[in-house]
Amino acid sequence: MYQRNTQQRQVILEELRMLKNHPTAAVLYTQVRSRLPKVSLGTVYRNLEMLYQSGIIQKLEFGGNEARYDGTIDQHDHVRCVQCGRLDDVDLPALAFLGGDCNDFGGFKIIGHRFEYIGICPQCRTKEENQTDDLPAER
Amino acid sequence: MYQRNTQQRQVILEELRMLKNHPTAAVLYTQVRSRLPKVSLGTVYRNLEMLYQSGIIQKLEFGGNEARYDGTIDQHDHVRCVQCGRLDDVDLPALAFLGGDCNDFGGFKIIGHRFEYIGICPQCRTKEENQTDDLPAER
DNA sequence: CTGTCTGCAAATGGTTTGCACCATA
DNA sequence: TATGGTGCAAACCATTTGCAGACAG
């Protein structure tokens, strides 16, 4: 089951690694289109999934939101802004053990974990202070 | 902003509390229909969201899968089966600190966290042993 | 009565997929 | 030139929403 090294695939991976902020597929798509104006969103999804399955990139999907992608595979956790969806890195070595030795819970074979802080990012915080009214919808 | 105490809302909450295994909206819907044959799926979603916003139940959404609901609000973590989506409880007091004092990461105001183990449930494990072929799709 | 809630069905939105053509190896 | 990849558009599927009638308070 070999994979070809297409131009699209290369550009998608390069641009993903360029964008440091864990872009969504849609954001990456517009970015890639600046170099390959004819790519389709379907191709972006297909390649992201392929790269993810090959263990080359990370897919960071949580709670109904759009999935976000990380061009590296080093293990670290994240903070997600409830309001705008922004996703930042968090270095929290204390969590390393969680994926480790504990590999049986009620018969489950544990193969990993997902962790994420939920919060409000700096931008959204200042927005909140300026306009005290209009609480935005939760989701 | 008061809320009415409709029959639908009551039954939905009761049935959710009856089902101990964190049902999806669809599963709960069929369950509720056995008592109220005319409820609509929309009503189930609307009420679940309402109960969730009111802090009466938990909404457990993770990784692109269907959301699952918990009729109680006690804090505990979960294991999710990658293959069938089954969601079980896990008691892991060590994680309690995570939502606690640490309330500022890079300007983010931390308001909570999401954690979940990923694994393979007993049923899917035995299935795997019996038939070594046909790897199921990731998602 | 008033204003919330319901059932229905259509809309949404992120993601996937079928198909015919394209291009990599 | 064989076959995996692409672009396009339609399909999917969980969830949301507009609307007119129903019903709780």
- Give the model's pLDDT for residue A11: 98
Strand C bases, protein C-beta under 7 A = 4-10, 14-18, 24-25
Mean of pLDDT values over B19-25: 92
- Give the model's pLDDT for residue A99: 46
> Rounded to an integer, what distance in angstroms lies between the CA atom of residue B18 and that of residue B25?
14
User: Mind listing the pLDDT tens digit for each residue in A83-121?
Assistant: 677 888 876 655 555 544 445 577 787 777 778 777 778
Strand C closer than 7 A to residue A49 Cβ: yes
The number of beta carbons lying within 10 Å of the beta carbon of residue A15 is: 22
- Would you place residue B35 in the very low, low, confident or very high pLDDT band (cuts 50, 70, 90)? very high
Number of H helices, E strands in chain B: 4, 6
CA-nearest of A57, A50, A63 to A23 is A57
Using the CA of B65, which nucleotide's C1' is the nearest one?
A: D14
Q: What percent of chain A has pLDDT over 70?
A: 76
Which residue does chain A place closest to B108, by CA atoms? A121
Using the CA of A45, which nucleotide's C1' is the nearest one?
A: C15
Mean pLDDT of chain A: 80
Which residue does chain A place closest to B102, by CA atoms? A117
Inter-chain residue contact B111 with A138, CB threshold 8 Å = no
Query: Does pLDDT of B60 surpass 50?
Result: yes
- Give the model's pLDDT for residue A104: 58
Query: Does pLDDT of B49 surpass 80?
Result: yes
Instruction: Tell how strand A104-105 and strand A108-120 pair up.
Output: antiparallel
Mean of pLDDT values over B58-64: 80
Inter-chain residue contact B125 with A110, CB threshold 8 Å = no
Strand D closer than 7 A to residue A43 Cβ: yes
* Helix-strand-coil split of chain B, %, nearest 5: 35, 20, 40
Is residue A58 within 8 Å of residue A116, measured between CB atoms? no
Instruction: Identify the three-state secondary structure at position B12.
Output: helix
Q: Provide, as residue numbers in chain B, all residues whose Cβ is less than 8 Å from the Cβ of A53.
A: 138
Q: Count Cα atoms within 13 angstroms, Cβ side, for B94.
A: 8
Query: Best interface-test mutation with A: which of B45, B114, B124 has the largest number of A CBs within 10 A?
Result: B114
User: Mind listing the pLDDT tens digit for each residue in A51-65?
Assistant: 998 999 999 887 667
